Amino acid sequence: MKNTRLGLSLFTTALLALASSATLAQGAKLKVGLMLPYTGTFAALGTAIENGFRLYVAEQGGKLGGREVEFVKVDDESDPSKATDNVNKLVKRDNVDVLVGTVHSGVAMAMAKVAKDSGTLLIVPNAGADAVTGAMCGPNIFRSSFSNWQPGYAMGEVVAKKGHKKVVTITWKYAAGDESVRGFKEAFEKGGGQVVKELNLPFPGVEFQALLTDIASTRPDAVYTFFAGGGAVKFVKDYAAAGLKKNIPLYGAGFLTDGTLEAQGADADGLLTTLHYADSLGTPRDSAFRLAYAKSYKLQPDVYAVQGYDAAQILGIGLTAVKGDVGKKAEFAAAVQRARIDSPRGPFMLSKAHNPVQDIYLRQVVGKENKVVGVASKALTDPARGCRM
Ligand code: PHB
């Protein structure tokens, strides 16, 4: 009896294995779960990421690793309180092969937790939460974007080198704001400066007035900020309207002026920011990407579009190595780890913790473009604090 049962279960296992390779051979579609913000202050960022991702897939004839790609989408609203339910819908109800998301660090942390617990492949196309490639790192978790520490740290060095001594920081009170400021402070204080005040408001609030009054009365040498999307548009306009722009230089992580320049107009002119992308790289790779993106979407690409495009590239590299079988996790990870990703931002590789090792550009707003001034930090590697892998 026991033997029969054992025999049967071996038989079932063998059948299942056969069935799954048969499904692959017949070219079952690859289900990509896109969890992104399509409403709220980050709505435009979510759309740009999806556009970039779809552009790369289209360039590959609609297939990655030999499998036709289909999408299931969830609007995460950049709301951490709904994040676990949203990601579970994709994993448990829709049975996606891979999760791609998201923009907001708090929501991404919930995605990383579910990915870790379920073993589902996760590619993060924006959210910088340091822990995603730090304490939460995992063999099935990859990031095509940056860690919050990276642009902040690069700007800390720039502002210290400019000779500014006293800086006030201002941001949203959540992981991305806190970590961006922490990265800035680490480099700025190492360079001899001092952060004299850290101002905050709750995400995604835009009531900046009292905080701007505080900056005016504190009179620092400069201000460092992290805002993005709709909030960044309003902050840059309010900073100028308060009369601060001409007296106290404003520096930021590059999200402050990426995808936002149409709406910010002259109020953004001249601003210096640090980021892993810029509008004037002028390399053949970037120019081809920008042309293809503009043709497809009648829009100029931004850093979010690049990160979406590169998330699809990473997925394509891994899937090609495992011939479309997402179950082969170790081989998938090894292939991605070896790869030099041919990004519009410039080629990059992933660190052991699966975060891009990349040049951080210093950019200046000129008209409707973030023009490259130089490389603020060459091949900057996130310290991946707490990652054991
Ligand atoms: C984040 O929450 O990690 C975040 C959001 C928007 C950005 C960058 C980072 O532009």
Instruction: Dump pLDDT digits (tens) for 166-184.
Output: 999 999 999 999 999 999 9
> Same structural domain for residues 337 and 221?
no
- Single-letter code of the amino acid located at 256: L
Measure 227 CA to ligand 1 centroid, in angstroms: 8
**Which of 306, 299, 389, 301 minimizes the C-alpha distance to 56?**
306
> Same structural domain for residues 142 and 153?
no
**Stretch 202-217: mean pLDDT:** 98
> Same structural domain for residues 191 and 91?
no
| Count of beta carbons in the 10 Å neighbourhood of residue 216 | 13
Name the closest-CA residue to atom 7, ligand 1: 228
Residue 138: CATH number of its domain: 3.40.50.2300
146 vs 81: CA distance, rounded Å: 24
378 is a domain residue: no
> Same structural domain for residues 43 and 104?
yes
> Same structural domain for residues 116 and 31?
yes
Instruction: Dump pLDDT digits (tens) for 312-368.
Output: 999 999 999 999 999 999 999 999 999 999 999 999 999 999 999 999 999 999 999
First to last CA, the chain: 43
130 is a domain residue: yes
Better-predicted residue by pLDDT, 25 or 136: 136
Q: Which residues pair with 352 in a beta bridge?
A: none
69 vs 53: CA distance, rounded Å: 11
Report CA-CA distances (Å) from 32 to 15, 77, 99, 354. Answer: 26, 19, 6, 20
> Same structural domain for residues 154 and 271?
yes
Mutate to test the pocket of ligand 1, among 42, 107, 124, 126 (most ligand atoms within 8 A of CB): 126
Q: Which residue reads 């980021």 in tokens? A: 275
Report CA-CA distances (Å) from 21 to 95, 241, 324. Answer: 17, 62, 10
Instruction: Dump pLDDT digits (tens) for 288-301.
Output: 999 999 999 999 99
**Which of 49, 160, 132 minimizes the C-alpha distance to 354?**
132
> Same structural domain for residues 260 and 325?
no
> Same structural domain for residues 47 and 125?
yes
Q: Cα–Cα–Cα angle for 361, 364, 370, nearest 5°?
A: 75
**What atom of ligand 1 comes closest to residue 129's alpha carbon?**
3
User: Phi, psi (5° rounding) for residue 69?
Assistant: -95, 130
Report CA-CA distances (Å) from 269 to 233, 265, 301. Answer: 13, 7, 19
Tokens of 120: 């589902």
User: Which of 207, 240, 275 marks a domain boundary?
Assistant: 275
368 is a domain residue: no
> Same structural domain for residues 284 and 232?
no
33 is a domain residue: yes
- Single-letter code of the amino acid located at 17: A
Mutate to test the pocket of ligand 1, among 255, 306, 382 (most ligand atoms within 8 A of CB): 255
Write out residues with Cβ below 6 Å of ligand 1. 42, 103-105, 126-129, 148, 176, 228, 255
Whole-structure pTM value: 0.94
Measure 324 CA to ligand 1 centroid, in angstroms: 31
**What atom of ligand 1 comes closest to residue 229's alpha carbon?**
10
Q: Which residues pair with 197 in a beta bridge?
A: 168
49 is a domain residue: yes
**Contact of 129 with 121, CB cutoff 8 Å:** no
**Stretch 250-262: mean pLDDT:** 98
Mutate to test the pocket of ligand 1, among 132, 148, 180 (most ligand atoms within 8 A of CB): 148
| pLDDT surpasses 80 at 22 | no
333 is a domain residue: yes
Instruction: Dump pLDDT digits (tens) for 33-53.
Output: 999 999 999 999 999 999 999
**Contact of 60 with 114, CB cutoff 8 Å:** no
Enclosing domain of residue 161: 149-275
**What atom of ligand 1 comes closest to residue 45's alpha carbon?**
10
Measure 26 CA to ligand 1 centroid, in angstroms: 39
Q: What is the pLDDT, as a whole number, of residue 389?
A: 87
| Count of beta carbons in the 10 Å neighbourhood of residue 298 | 7
**Contact of 257 with 264, CB cutoff 8 Å:** yes
For 226, the 3-state DSSP assignment is: strand
60 is a domain residue: yes
**Which of 225, 233, 270, 231 minimizes the C-alpha distance to 251?**
225
Mutate to test the pocket of ligand 1, among 36, 41, 42, 182 (most ligand atoms within 8 A of CB): 42
60 vs 112: CA distance, rounded Å: 28
Tokens of 172: 């949203």
Lowest mean pLDDT among 7-16, 112-121, 194-203: 7-16
> Same structural domain for residues 142 and 285?
yes
5 is a domain residue: no
- Total structural domains within the chain: 2
> Same structural domain for residues 87 and 154?
no
Kindly state the helix (H) or strand (E) to which residue 371 belongs, with its residue range: strand 369-380
147 vs 25: CA distance, rounded Å: 38
> Same structural domain for residues 130 and 216?
no
